[in-house]
Amino acid sequence: MKRPKLRKASKRISCSKRYKIQKKVREHNRKLKKEAKKKGLKKHVKKDPGVPNSAPFKEEVLREAEQRRLQIEEEKERKRQAKKEERAQKRKKEKEAAVKEAEPSAKKARKDTAENNSVKRSAPNKNSKQHLCSELNKVIDASDVVIEVLDARDPLGCRCPQLEEAVLLGGKKKLLFVLTKIDLVPKENVEKWIECLQREFPVVAFKASTQMRDKTVKTKRKRVVPSNEVLDRSKGAACFGSECLAELLSAYAAKTQSEAALKVGVVGFPNVGKSSLINNLKGMMACHVGIAKGTTKSMQEVHMSKTVKLMDSPGVIASPSNPAASMALRSLQVEEGQQTVLDAVNTLLKQCDKSQVMLQYTVPDFRNSLEFLTLLAKKRGFLQKGGVPNTEQAANTFLTDWTGAKLSYHCKVPGNYSLPNYVTDEVIAEMQNGWDLAKVKAGNMEILKGFKFPNLASSISFVSRGPTAGLLTVAAVPEERPPAEREAQHNSENDEPGETEELHKTEELEKLQNTVKDKPSKVHFQPVPVDISLSTVHTDDAYDFNTDFK
């Protein structure tokens, strides 16, 4: 049996009550009309009749009226925004006043004196070349010892002749080479480069730890040391060469017998490992490091010990007159938007063997850089909407591998290597004086003995373009030449005939492709006369019917 539905209370009212309500409303409206009439207010605004159709110049009048309406609206909007800004400024002042009252009196006094003494001026742009050059010159001028950090994958390409000349100019500063990222280069190659560079200046092999902790983080448990030392040394947590370099600098500081701390400037091109070197010598995260090039923007002082003070510097700005491969690896053109990532990848692919790149990235054969990036994007899963390969992300990953501490590639030591003009026998003797070279050699041997290096077959062979020219002043920017002229001149000066054979082949193929594109698409056939007479038929192999059918 269905239960009866519960009904809500009815909204009906009696007629007498409804009439009373209507009467009250009429009286109230009448009262409001009387008051408005006394005050001279009209309830209903007369409607604008508009411009009649018979009026002359109706369109112009309407256009002027519309313009006036828009002007009035703009004025209202302007006033509204001005009031809004005024309220925001008022709130900001009230907030600042409250914060100022809450501040202690000593801090308030320090702020007031700083504001009075300082002259208001616009802050310099830290990304400008002028700022970076001035900061680099500050480090060079203030240093007693200058450490030039070289990437072990291309040590010759990381050398800057202009920087070395500026350091050696006074004759009072010492120059020292530190070969970083040795864990990405075959052992035989590292030994040859150390032997080659030791003829000029002292060289220290170095491998930075990629797992540095911040100084505010305190480790509660010690790291478990595995029994296999070789495996432990191959990990990113291990650091090699820091003890040897720290002892070398401390010993030199003790020899100088100066009351002030020894100032050591760390210089080099972007992404060679300057800040990582300082962090590993300090033993904590003192300088900011990153994968992107140009992370350090200004000079930073770090006290390694009581007698040694390290100074971090921004990367050396590469001159536009350098070859395209050097610019792709060591300049900030991609970050500044002067060069696309795809062009940089295309330049790097021309400098190495295709088969080694295929093995390193496990991609099939490719014809050009765009096809390689498409295959790499599919391999890594860099896909856009609709499954389209994201070649730009793949190009950024490829370039980061080459500039960061990830990809293993190496450059051969040139057979006909000669010392630069500014490095004389007197300079070499002066630079090597005061250092314990035997201790440096023993430290390098110890590092190379127990360290696990990559195999020569698993490392990509790269063609070095020689020392990279740098800029120490903004006024020294040369006129930029076309990349083709730069490549041709550098190839004729520095390259050996066997090294650039692959480059010449790719250039010839590109020229052939361009000539094919320039030709018309129609193919013209030329008729060739063909003689089909019986006299031209050779009967040596012809079948003789008389042998079987007589």
Each residue's pLDDT expressed in tens, for the chain with a length of 550 residues:
455 666 778 889 999 999 999 999 999 999 998 988 888 776 566 777 788 888 888 888 888 989 999 999 999 999 999 999 999 999 999 988 888 777 776 666 666 666 665 544 555 677 788 888 888 888 999 999 999 999 999 999 999 999 998 888 877 888 999 999 888 899 898 999 998 988 889 999 988 887 766 555 444 444 444 444 444 444 566 788 888 888 899 988 888 878 888 999 999 998 888 888 898 888 888 888 887 787 888 888 988 888 899 999 998 988 888 888 888 888 888 887 888 888 989 999 988 888 999 988 999 999 899 999 999 999 999 998 888 999 999 999 999 888 888 888 889 888 888 888 888 888 888 888 888 888 888 888 888 886 778 888 888 888 888 899 988 887 654 544 444 444 454 444 444 444 444 445 555 555 545 554 444 444 444 554 544 444 444 444 555 556 655 5
| Per-residue pLDDT, 87 | 93
Q: Is residue 67 within 8 Å of 74, Cβ to Cβ?
A: no
> How many whole angstroms separate alpha carbon 442 and alpha carbon 463?
30
Q: Is residue 245 within 8 Å of 239, Cβ to Cβ?
A: no
Q: Which domains does the chain have, with CATH numbers?
A: 129-212+233-321+417-453 (3.40.50.300), 324-403 (1.10.1580)
Report the candidate in 96, 192, 253, 167 with the shortest Cα–Cα distance to residue 410. 192
Give the β-pairing of 409-411 and 308-312.
unpaired
| Per-residue pLDDT, 105 | 65
Using CA atoms, how far residue 1 sits from 5, 6, 70, 531, in Å, is: 12, 15, 71, 112
Report the candidate in 404, 407, 403 with the shortest Cα–Cα distance to residue 360. 407
Q: Is residue 451 within 8 Å of 240, Cβ to Cβ?
A: yes
Three-class DSSP labels, 10-37: CCCCCHHHHHHHHHHHHHHHHHHHHHHH
| Per-residue pLDDT, 131 | 85
Determine if the pTM surpasses 0.75.
no
Which amino acid belongs to residue 458?
S
What are the structure tokens assigned to 493, written together?
Answer: 């000066």
Which amino acid belongs to residue 179?
L
What are the structure tokens assigned to 526, written together?
Answer: 């030329």
Report the candidate in 422, 512, 354 with the shortest Cα–Cα distance to residue 167. 422
> How many whole angstroms separate alpha carbon 239 and alpha carbon 499?
34
* DSSP 8-state assignment for residue 199: T
> How many whole angstroms separate alpha carbon 450 and alpha carbon 233?
8
Phi and psi at residue 409, to the nearest 5°: -145, 160
CA 361 to chain centre: 21
State the alpha helices, DSSP H only, in 451-525. 483-494, 501-518
Which amino acid belongs to residue 313?
S
> How many whole angstroms separate alpha carbon 409 and alpha carbon 456?
9
| Per-residue pLDDT, 25 | 96
| Residue 447, Cβ density class (10 Å: 0-12 exposed, 13-18 middle, ≥19 buried) | buried
If one counts every other C-beta atom within 10 angstroms of the C-beta of residue 323, the result is 22
* Residues ≥6 apart with Cβ < 8 Å to 204: 176, 177, 178, 179, 241, 244, 245, 248, 440, 443, 444
> How many whole angstroms separate alpha carbon 241 and alpha carbon 178?
9
> How many whole angstroms separate alpha carbon 378 and alpha carbon 192?
38
> How many whole angstroms separate alpha carbon 242 and alpha carbon 236?
14
